[in-house]
């Protein structure tokens, strides 16, 4: 089966109907080895065919803007080299700023592709602050990857409580990509303590 409609648009990643694509969104300001670590884990633990890094124009929840998009894209591409991982600025091309808007647009451009939204446990803890967060949970499976010190707050979060019945057990996390939403899975990993904010604070970006 060949690439689907929308995949040949300039700069858009290629996907095929039936594939399971994990989406890791963020500013990547800058990308670091922690991002690489959780991406490789997500590929195997959640049963994904590919992962796309969605390097965003900016985070609506952050007051200060990130480094230029071209600079962040170049750094991410230099760091993340894997045949099943694609670095893309598709959100800038689509003109979307919020995750729900991006997911609606991707589902329209890639009919038949199964998307899984990937996030760190810190994001699950604040998911209820995101625009249309209930729509995200109701329509797209979500893979949550524990980061240091975020496990308890994530498990006690509003999203985790409301969607408790939709959580897959650990032994079934590999079925997340084929699960019918609402569905989410929480996995614990020995995590890197690297963070983009710490790298910026040290003046290394």
pLDDT tens digits for range 105-118: 999 999 999 999 99
Q: How confident is the model at residue 196 (pLDDT cuts 50, 70, 90)?
A: very low
Residue 7 lies in a domain: no
Q: How many domains does the chain have?
A: 1
Q: What is the pLDDT of residue 7?
A: 44
Q: What is the DSSP letter of 3?
A: P
* Phi, psi of 115, rounded to the nearest 5 degrees: -100, 145
Rounded-to-integer distance, Cα 62 and Cα 79, Å: 24
SS3 sequence of 26-78: ECCCCCCHHHHHHHHHHHHHCCCCEEEEEECCCCCCCCCCCCCHHHHHHHHHH
What pLDDT is recorded for position 189? 80
- Decide if 83 is inside a domain: yes
107 within some domain: yes
| Average pLDDT rounded to a whole number, residues 32-46 | 93
Asked if residue 8 is part of any domain, the answer here is: no
In this prediction, residue 119 has a pLDDT band, given cuts at 50, 70 and 90, of very high
Of 60-64, 92-96, 164-168, 176-180, minimum mean pLDDT range: 60-64
Q: Give the residue numbers spanning the domain of 126.
A: 20-201
Residue 87 falls within a domain, yes or no?
yes
For the domain that residue 117 is a member of, what is the CATH number?
A: 3.40.50.620
- Alpha helices of the chain — where are they, by DSSP H? 33-45, 69-79, 90-94, 99-109, 121-125, 133-139, 151-155, 158-162, 196-201
pLDDT for 154 equals 81
Please give the model's pTM, rounded to 2 decimal places. 0.85
The answer to whether position 172 is within a domain reads yes
Indicate if the pLDDT at residue 201 is higher than 60: no
- Residue at 11 is within a domain: no
Local structure of residue 192 (DSSP, 8 states): -
Q: How confident is the model at residue 195 (pLDDT cuts 50, 70, 90)?
A: low
Residue 205: both structure tokens together: 């970006």
The per-residue pLDDT for range 141-152, each reduced to its tens digit, is 999 998 656 667
10 falls within a domain = no
Q: Which residue has the higher pLDDT, 48 or 97?
A: 48
């Amino acid at each position: 089966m060949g690439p689907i409609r929308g995949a040949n648009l300039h700069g858009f990643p290629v996907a095929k109907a039936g594939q399971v694509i994990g989406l890791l969104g963020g500013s990547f300001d800058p990308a670091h080895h922690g991002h690489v670590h959780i991406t490789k884990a997500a590929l195997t633990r959640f049963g994904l065919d590919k992962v796309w890094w969605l390097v965003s124009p900016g985070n609506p929840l952050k007051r200060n803007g990130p480094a230029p998009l071209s600079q962040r894209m170049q750094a991410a591409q230099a760091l993340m080299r894997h045949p099943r991982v694609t670095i893309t600025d598709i959100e800038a091309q689509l003109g979307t700023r919020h995750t729900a808007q991006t997911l609606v647009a991707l589902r329209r451009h890639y009919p038949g592709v199964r998307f899984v939204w990937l996030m760190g446990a810190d994001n699950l803890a604040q998911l209820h602050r995101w625009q249309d967060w209930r729509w995200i949970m109701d329509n797209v499976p979500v893979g949550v990857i524990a980061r240091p010190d975020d496990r308890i707050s994530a498990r006690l979060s509003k999203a985790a409580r409301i969607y408790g019945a939709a959580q897959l057990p650990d032994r079934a996390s590999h079925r997340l990509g084929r699960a019918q939403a609402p569905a989410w899975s929480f996995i614990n990993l020995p995590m890197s303590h690297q963070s983009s904010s710490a790298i910026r604070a040290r003046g290394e970006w």
